[in-house]
Every structure is written in C-alpha cells, then in structure tokens.
Structure 1
Amino acid sequence: MKIIQISHLKKSFQNKIILKDMCLEIEEGECFGCIGPSGAGKTTLVKIMIGQLDADHGKCLVFNEDSRHLSFQAYEKIGLVLDEQGLYERLSVFDNLKLFADLHRIESKRIHEVLKRVDLNEEADKKVFRLSKGMRQRLVLARAILHKPRLLFLDEPTSALDPGSMHLIHELLLELKREKVSIFLTTHNMQEAMLLCDRIGLLYEGCMIEEGRIEDIVEKYHENLDLQIELTNHDILNLNGQKEADKICHYLKEEKVLKIHSNEPTLEDIFKKLTGKRLDV
C-alpha cells in the first residue's frame, strides 16, 4: 500500500523555484530518507505533505487523500517532529503531553508508557524550560508517537544533539520501524540515513537527483572498483580491481593477502560527484 504519492509537484516563493517537478512514492512501513543540504527544499516538501503549504502545481496524496484537504481521520494517523517544537515552556513534561493526550482522548497511562520509551519518565514533573536540548527533542518525539501514528514526519530530528540523545532517538525509530510505522525523514547526516532508511532520495536545488536503496545507489556509482589490500606484512596497497587484477591475483596466489576491502563511494562522494557541492553546506 502506498502511504504517500507525489506527482509533478512544483513550488515557488517570490519567483524562486523551491521544488521542481517532484515525483515520489513511499510504501507502508517504509523509512524514506530525504537527504540534502540546507535550502534544498526538504522542509518545504514536508510542509506540503502535511497540508501546511499548497503546491503551485502537481498532486500530493497522503493516505490516498489530497494533502491540501486532509481529513481529521488522516491527521490522527500522522505524527510530526518539526523545527517549530511548540512546547509549553512553563508547563511540566507530563502536562505538555497531557494537553495533547486530551485532544486525542488518550488515557494518562499512555503518557507514562511513552515517557519511558524516550527515557524521560524521571523528568515528568520538570518544567520544559529546564530541559536540555536533547531532552526537549525527545519530548517532541514522545508527543509525536503518543497517539500511535502510522506515519511519522521527522524534519532533522537529531540535528545538533549530543551522541547520547541521538543514539536514544535512533533506537526508538528502529523500534517504530519494526512496528511497521512509515517514516519520512529529512537529514543531512549520512550515518543516520544508512542506519534508518530503506530508501533515500538526494535532494538538490528542488530536484530529486537520485533515489533508491542506498546499496543500489552506491553500486551504481562504484565505477573504479578500487580495492584496499592489507598484506601479511601489514603493508597497505590501494589497487584498481580492473587495471591491476594480475597484481591482485599474484598476491593471492602467494598467500600474502591478509584483508581486502572494497573502497566504495560514500553518499557524500556521490552527492559531490552529482552536484559539485558538499552535502553539509
């Protein structure tokens, strides 16, 4: 079942094109990573999918509904982690979630369950303005999953977090994947994408310049077949598998090879090859 269907989507602001003829489909239970630098159009795309912005042209369906007119039933199946946290600073952690729970007619015991999942149960009575950045982000994620959504939109959910908070959020997202929750993730963190995503799309200047499974994309651009070979005397050799195959065979026949690694391109390498730009700029 297709959770999201986007066809020929276009969006401009003040004559600046933000999204150009975007086409994309995301399956139920899939984690799709939208990867690109700041200004690539990631947040605009998310806002169109959740109905905060209208596209200038094209169609966006979420749960088979037009994103411009999503029903209450559709919104009940969606969880959001966006830049605008929308937390009530003077309320406690628990009371922030209680407000949201009341809107969705959720029992209080569910709040405690979710706080345990994000490791904030001991902070339940603490005022939000006293929380660290990592704790605040975990609270936002707790709010996003409180009503057991089937689709999560995560816009840079671990940006600038400490490694501990990042690891905890990653573990929770992997749990949600096992529960068949669909996830649309925007990030410029390659390690995060490789850990979480079933498929990715590389977004640059409003265009999806490459899309697919990470392994398939890497294989597509692994042109030189470069190998790193460690010999038994611990010398390290960087050889080309096509041009220097005879030399590699010689070391293997002489039983001088300790390890062989394929020097595959990283997603950063591929992005730079396609755009001439680094991903983190």
Structure 2
Amino acid sequence: MAETIEVTGLRKRYGDVRAVDGVTFGVEEGEFFGILGPNGAGKTTILEIVEGLRQADEGGVSVLGESPWPRNPRLLPRIGVQLQASSFFERLTAREQLQTFGSLYGVPANKADEMLELVGLTDKADVRVERLSGGQAQRLSIACALVHDPELVFLDEPTAALDPQARRNLWDVLRQINTEGRTIVLTTHYMDEAEVLCDRVAIMDAGQILRLGPPAQLVRGLDSPARISVASGVLTVEDARRLPQADEAVDDGVSLTISTRDPSAVVAAMAAKDALTGVQIHGATLEDVFLDLTGRAYRA
C-alpha cells in the first residue's frame, strides 16, 4: 500500500536534550498507527513535526506526498489535528465552535450537529465551551479535528480525561472513521487502547523507536510466562508448584496464581484434579512489552 507518512532520520534537539533522535518510520494509507512511550519520550514532538507545527533539525518528512514544513496550505484541508492541549474561541457554544471551525474549510453549518452526535455532545450543543467538563471539551476537540472530513487524522492522547463509557464510545467512533478509509495516527498512554485500535505501534523512549510492529506480534515476541488463577483453596501452594510445567505459585487468600510457560499442560493437570474453579488465564499484554522496553522507573 502507498505510504501516507514517510519519516526518515528525524532529529530535534532542545539544547542538550535530544527530543527526537534519528527516528524512521512509515504509515500506510488507511492504517491506524500508534506512537507509545513514557512522558518525555518524544511522541508529541514527532507529531508536531509531521503536522507541520514544528521544524525538524534533521531528517525528511513527507505527508500525503507533500512536505509539511514550512506550513503547507495544501495539506491543511486534508489533515485533522487534535492537540494534547486544545484552545477554543471564547464565549461560543459547542455548536458555534464547530460551525466556526467548519467555516474555515467551507463546511456547511448543519454539519456541526452531525459531529456533535458523533461524539455524544448533542445535549451540550448550546452550552458555552468554557462550561464544558474536561472530558466534554476533549470530545469537542476531536469533533473539530474531524468536521472537514480529513483523510489523515492526528490524535494526541484523545481519551485523556474521559470516563470509561466516553472512552469506549470514542473507540467506536475512531474505528468507524478508520473503516471509512481515513488514516489515523494516535499517541496514548493507555496500552489497552493501542492494543485494541492500532494496526501497528511504535514504542519510543529517549527520542528513539525501540520496537515497531503489530501489537499482537510484539506481545508474542515477549518471553513472558502466562498466569493461571483459580479460587484460593482449590489447591495448596505446594500442590500447585508440583504441577507439570508450573514455574511458581502464590496464594493471596483470594486467588491462587500459577506462572507457567506451558499453560495447556498446567490446565490439563489441574482439570485432572478437578481444580479449575474460577479459572482465568492471563497472557502477556502490550503493557508488559512496554514495561519490558522502557522500564518501571517513574517519569516526570
């Protein structure tokens, strides 16, 4: 497939800090691409360079066959951008805000109500933007990024500040617009979000891409044991540790958890002992991959 975004040898420094340090990747047309990393990894800087909001020190960037820098007016109608921190026109209602954004691209005023419905803000249409909650403002920001039907959408932590229901509803919206053929580039701190939505992810730290690929492929490449949990008391810890292929067993008084790299052998042995009450099997996740690559130290 054609590449919508091509990034080659990208570098950006701020004094002695290498915010982006030799990054190369491509995003295919129609792909849902995620950029993951701890705070300060360089995710937002990369987005801002690709969007044409910031100039790179070195490297090449092509977006939809065009250079985004200097600010390219030919690209503006073709891309939608939701920034990490959004600013709205003061004293406008949610509907008026969308109508104003849309008017910059020649979008009919009635498109605003369609977008409000899409992000679940129909009942807030006549509420001024400064009176919206943080989550509602976040959803309005996403609607503004989509109001002109862009073919490429950049979303910088779009579900931050959203409650679980709004977050899952937004996932449905993003899946829908991606299914319609739009290319989406997403940054997020939610690993489950990236695992569910993204075709491929790039995991970054210290300005570099550490691993890139489909989430399931990255998870399969991690040498991590599966965890099998059953109700506490079904087996003793000693009996659990004697099961074939069991590596370790811990009972916290609620659940007995067994670590193993061969869960089928352990489950079969537990079934033979009629010890599968409340059984749950947990494999590695994208979060495990992320922590394996970036570590567990606190980040500012």
Q: Same fold (TM over 0.5)?
A: yes
The letter of the residue matching 2:180 is E
Instruction: Assess, with a 3 A threshold, how the Cα gap between structure 1 residues 167 and 226 changes in structure 2: closer, same or farther.
Output: closer
- CA deviations on 1:52-102 (whole Å, 9 max, x unpaired) are 111111101100111214543322111111023120131111211121122
Tell me the TM-score normalized by structure 2.
Answer: 0.83
The letter of the residue matching 2:141 is V
Partner of 1:134 in structure 2? 135
Deviation, 1:162, is: 2.1
The answer on whether the counterparts of 1:37 and 1:279 sit within 8 Å (CA) in structure 2 is: no
Gaps of 5+ in 1: none
Deviates more, 1:40-49 or 1:73-82: 73-82
Partner of 2:260 in structure 1? 240
Report whether the alignment pairs 1:119 with 2:120. Answer: yes
CA distance in 2, matches of 1:89, 1:155: 22
Partner of 1:110 in structure 2? 111
Instruction: Assess, with a 3 A threshold, how the Cα gap between structure 1 residues 51 and 247 changes in structure 2: closer, same or farther.
Output: closer
The answer on whether the counterparts of 2:30 and 2:184 sit within 8 Å (CA) in structure 1 is: yes
- CA deviations on 1:90-127 (whole Å, 9 max, x unpaired) are 11112111211221111112111111111222322221
CA distance in 2, matches of 1:277, 1:178: 35
- CA deviations on 1:37-60 (whole Å, 9 max, x unpaired) are 111111100110011111111101
CA distance in 1, matches of 2:212, 2:138: 28
Partner of 2:228 in structure 1? 228
Partner of 1:94 in structure 2? 95
Instruction: Assess, with a 3 A threshold, how the Cα gap between structure 1 residues 256 and 47 changes in structure 2: closer, same or farther.
Output: same
Identity within the alignment, %:
32
Report whether the alignment pairs 1:269 with 2:270. Answer: no
Report whether the alignment pairs 1:147 with 2:167. Answer: no
Instruction: Assess, with a 3 A threshold, how the Cα gap between structure 1 residues 67 and 76 changes in structure 2: closer, same or farther.
Output: same
Deviation, 1:171, is: 1.9
CA distance in 2, matches of 1:29, 1:257: 47
- CA deviations on 1:144-189 (whole Å, 9 max, x unpaired) are 1100011111111111222233223222111112112111111111
Deviation, 1:271, is: 2.5
Partner of 1:205 in structure 2? 206
Matches of residues 1-281 of structure 1 in structure 2 within 5 Å?
1-69=2-70, 71-221=72-222, 223-226=223-226, 228=228, 230=230, 234-235=234-235, 236=256, 238-241=258-261, 250-251=269-270, 254=272, 256=274, 258=276, 263-278=282-297
Gaps of 5+ in 2: 236-255
CA distance in 2, matches of 1:224, 1:199: 21
Deviation, 1:250, is: 4.8
SS in 1 for 2:74: helix
Tell me the TM-score normalized by structure 1.
Answer: 0.88
SS in 1 for 2:97: helix
The answer on whether the counterparts of 1:218 and 1:265 sit within 8 Å (CA) in structure 2 is: yes
The letter of the residue matching 2:58 is H
Instruction: Assess, with a 3 A threshold, how the Cα gap between structure 1 residues 251 and 86 changes in structure 2: closer, same or farther.
Output: closer
Deviation, 1:192, is: 1.3
CA distance in 1, matches of 2:5, 2:175: 20
Instruction: Assess, with a 3 A threshold, how the Cα gap between structure 1 residues 73 and 237 changes in structure 2: closer, same or farther.
Output: same
CA distance in 2, matches of 1:130, 1:247: 55
CA distance in 2, matches of 1:171, 1:279: 32
Instruction: Assess, with a 3 A threshold, how the Cα gap between structure 1 residues 234 and 198 changes in structure 2: closer, same or farther.
Output: farther
Partner of 2:246 in structure 1? none
The answer on whether the counterparts of 2:260 and 2:266 sit within 8 Å (CA) in structure 1 is: no
CA distance in 2, matches of 1:101, 1:111: 8
Instruction: Assess, with a 3 A threshold, how the Cα gap between structure 1 residues 51 and 239 changes in structure 2: closer, same or farther.
Output: closer
Instruction: Assess, with a 3 A threshold, how the Cα gap between structure 1 residues 280 and 13 changes in structure 2: closer, same or farther.
Output: closer
CA distance in 2, matches of 1:85, 1:229: 43
CA RMSD for the aligned pairs? 2.5
Deviates more, 1:47-56 or 1:121-130: 121-130
CA distance in 2, matches of 1:246, 1:94: 59
The letter of the residue matching 2:258 is N
Instruction: Assess, with a 3 A threshold, how the Cα gap between structure 1 residues 81 and 247 changes in structure 2: closer, same or farther.
Output: closer
Corresponding residue pairs, total: 277
The letter of the residue matching 2:228 is Q
Instruction: Assess, with a 3 A threshold, how the Cα gap between structure 1 residues 47 and 247 changes in structure 2: closer, same or farther.
Output: closer
SS in 2 for 1:129: helix
